[in-house]
Amino acid sequence: MNQAKMVQILGFLAEWALKFRLPVRGIIRATVFQEFCGGESLQKSLPKIAELQRSGIGSIPDYSVEGLNSEELMDETLLELLDALTFTANHPETPLFVFKVTGLVHSDLLEASAKNALIDPKQIEAFHRGKGRVMNLLRRASDMQCPIMIDAEESWLQDPIDQIAMEASVKFNRSKAIVIQTLQMYRHDRLEHLDQCLKHAQEEGYAPGFKVVRGAYMEKERERADLLGYLDPIQPDKETTDRDTHRAIEILLQHPNAFLCLGTHNRSTCVWATELMDRFGLAKISERVLFAQLLGMSDSLSAELADEGYRVAKYLPYGPVDKVLPYLLRRARENSSAAGELSREYALLLAERRQRRQEAG
């Protein structure tokens, strides 16, 4: 059985067990959660943050809640995100913060906005309340001068998210990139979008910021496009995705004041980026460049980058087990390369534990 299929089955079983309140939280907390999450709160994540920092690796706090469907829950999420943002700004080990707009704006409203279908006054009011939550968070980040990344979502939700990011960038990125957009390069239109954003930044006089990733929703995107009969937004093959990813990296590293967070588990892409940094005269510790990987995945790559003197950080998911686990399983299911990396890392971890037990015995 291939790794991606195994992750799907294990994910279904874990979600089923949590849904029916079977006593599995302790098992999950002691195994997968312990290895791939910081803790159930940021305070409980401090030991993991300190451990990473000792290896020269930063942490990116990631409150892994998305797709909420009530105003009350989204208001609560905003309060949590504001607290986490303050934590991030006050800890040098956490170079930036990240959040998902669907934790603050209902996905149905984002989809309606993307279709220019916000007609009902109540919908319009709810959308503006959600946008207000997002702008509140971004404004606080600007006040504290703490860079904040807006994670990408599915293509049918992304346009209003991009519009909010550009609007906020005009306000808050005057001297440096505080608001950071995410480009999923498996979409065939992202280089064009990057070009438009950079032109907008030049016209409006702000510093652009981007996280570049390959993407995490490929299967869902293809299935929906096929079901609804519209043009598949995904690149035709991996080679094209790789080409556009590398081109985006090159454009941003050549830019005079753009910020780049390169989120990848692909070693060759990281090597390519470091070679470009050298070619363009960017120092290894340049504040304009940050490499990022998920906690528990590609740990050897993160360590190698840190040992070479580059700025690198781990995405640090945190939160209650039943909220964080579905997020991790979604990431694993929808990104087969990440799923495979998770399996390899976990196999190495188990082998290391077996060896320690043998040495102790």
Task: Tell me if 151 is assigned to some domain.
Answer: yes
Q: How far apart are CA 272 and CA 262, in angstroms?
A: 11
The whole-number pLDDT of residue 328 equals 64
Task: Tell me if 179 is assigned to some domain.
Answer: yes
The whole-number pLDDT of residue 321 equals 80
pTM for the structure as a whole: 0.87
On the question of pLDDT at 327 being above 80, the answer is no
Handedness of CA 23, 29, 31, 36 (dihedral sign): positive
Give every CB contact of residue 80 below 8 A, 6+ residues apart in sequence: 63, 65
On the question of pLDDT at 350 being above 80, the answer is no
Q: How far from 62 is each of 19, 41, 158, 246, 271, CA to CA, in Å?
A: 23, 10, 19, 26, 26
Return the bridge partners of 293, or none: 314
Tens-digit pLDDT profile for residues 255-297: 999 999 999 999 999 999 999 999 999 999 999 999 999 998 8
Q: How far from 154 is each of 150, 192, 233, CA to CA, in Å?
A: 13, 18, 10
Strands (E), the chain: 58-63, 97-99, 148-150, 179-184, 209-213, 259-263, 289-294, 312-318
The whole-number pLDDT of residue 336 equals 46
Confidence of residue 332 (pLDDT cuts 50, 70, 90): low
Q: Which domain holds residue 311?
A: 3-355
What CATH number corresponds to the domain at position 217? 3.20.20.220
Element (DSSP H or E) covering residue 35: helix 32-36
Task: Tell me if 361 is assigned to some domain.
Answer: no
Task: Tell me if 360 is assigned to some domain.
Answer: no
The whole-number pLDDT of residue 216 equals 81
Give every CB contact of residue 145 below 8 A, 6+ residues apart in sequence: 89, 176, 178
Tens-digit pLDDT profile for residues 200-216: 999 999 999 999 999 98
The whole-number pLDDT of residue 249 equals 99
Q: How far apart are CA 328 and CA 339, in angstroms?
A: 10
What's the mean pLDDT in 341-358?
55
What single string gives the DSSP state of each residue in 206-237?
---EEEEE--S-HHHHHHHHHHHT----B-SS
Give every CB contact of residue 231 below 8 A, 6+ residues apart in sequence: 225
Domain count, the chain: 1
On the question of pLDDT at 247 being above 90, the answer is yes
Beta strands at 289-294 and 312-318: parallel, antiparallel or unpaired: parallel
State the CB neighbour count (10 A cutoff) for residue 37.
26
What's the mean pLDDT in 31-55?
90
Task: Tell me if 228 is assigned to some domain.
Answer: yes
Task: Tell me if 56 is assigned to some domain.
Answer: yes
